[in-house]
A and B are shown apart, each in its own frame.
Chain A
Amino acid sequence: SYEVTQPPSVSVSPGQTASITCSGDRLGTKYVCWYQQRPGQSPVLVIYRDSKRPSGIPDRFSGSNSGSTATLTISGTQAIDEADYYCQSWDSSTVVFGGGTRLTVL
């Protein structure tokens, strides 16, 4: 079965840029979405179709996808961005989620 892999944790200082990766075989040939989940809340879609932001998502969130790696980038990271982030893609008609990355804003 298809798998995507994320680093368990990423740390960033306030105001700096955070990059969270998602790796999978030929992932660049598939669409990738990213979700933010704060404790006790439902996930929120922050990026779809590799790099598009839903309405209401700040423009400090951006995404890219090429080769075998997709990347979520948060520019000017704020304390409110501290959360778990999950990448998601598709393998044929099956939906696949990464294991998640905990972003800590130190």
Chain B
Amino acid sequence: QVQLQESGPGLVKPLETLSLTCSVAGASISNYYWTWMRQSPGKGPEWIGNVHHSGSTNYNPSLKSRVTILLDTPKNQFSLKLASLTAADTAIYYCAGKEDFAGYGLDVWGQGTAVTVSS
């Protein structure tokens, strides 16, 4: 059974860079698309971006200038960096994964980590 666990700071200052890591257990990081999502209070999930097991990435156009997602295959982890934070980036951040087939959905999710942007 695949399990994902997010880790990172719960509080970050405005204009700083958020760094989160997702550790993958129970599966190889290969053969999956790995994704970062976020959800602001009372709103629906927002796709931040994903990284293919080959290392190629796709980002939400609205966040693309501030986002970097990287794969660390030896550690079976992937990471998110989100720069130039504002209060609007306060959310629960989830890592998730989907099998590398067209039309497959995100079938494995982490429990989410709450991030607050505040001075």
Contacts and interface: CB of A to CB of B under 8 A. Distances in A.
Interface string B53-81: 00000101110000000000000000000
A97 B44 contact: yes
B104 A86 contact: no
B26 to A, nearest CB: 15
> Which of B46, B105, B109, B111 has the most chain A CB atoms inside 10 A of its CB?
B105
Interface residues of A, number: 26
**A contacts with B: majority SS:** strand
Chain B: interface residue count, which band?
20 to 34
> Which of A34, A44, A93 has the most chain B CB atoms inside 10 A of its CB?
A93
Contacts of A44: 109
> Which of A34, A37, A42, A86 has the most chain B CB atoms inside 10 A of its CB?
A42
Given A31-B103, A50-B103, A94 B58 contact: yes
Nearest to A88: B105
Given A42-B94, A96-B47, A97-B47, A54 B107 contact: yes
> Which of A31, A43, A93 has the most chain B CB atoms inside 10 A of its CB?
A43
B112 A42 contact: yes
Given A95-B50, A97-B45, A45 B106 contact: yes
Contacts of A1: 61-62
A33 interface: yes
Given A86-B44, A95-B47, 19 more contacts: A33-B105, A33-B106, A35-B106, A42-B109, A43-B94, A43-B106, A43-B109, A48-B103, A48-B105, A49-B103, A50-B103, A84-B44, A94-B47, A94-B58, A95-B58, A95-B60, A97-B44, A97-B45, A98-B44
Interface of A: 1, 31, 33-35, 37, 42-45, 47-50, 54, 84, 86, 88, 93-100
Interface of B: 35, 43-47, 50, 58, 60-62, 94, 102-107, 109-112
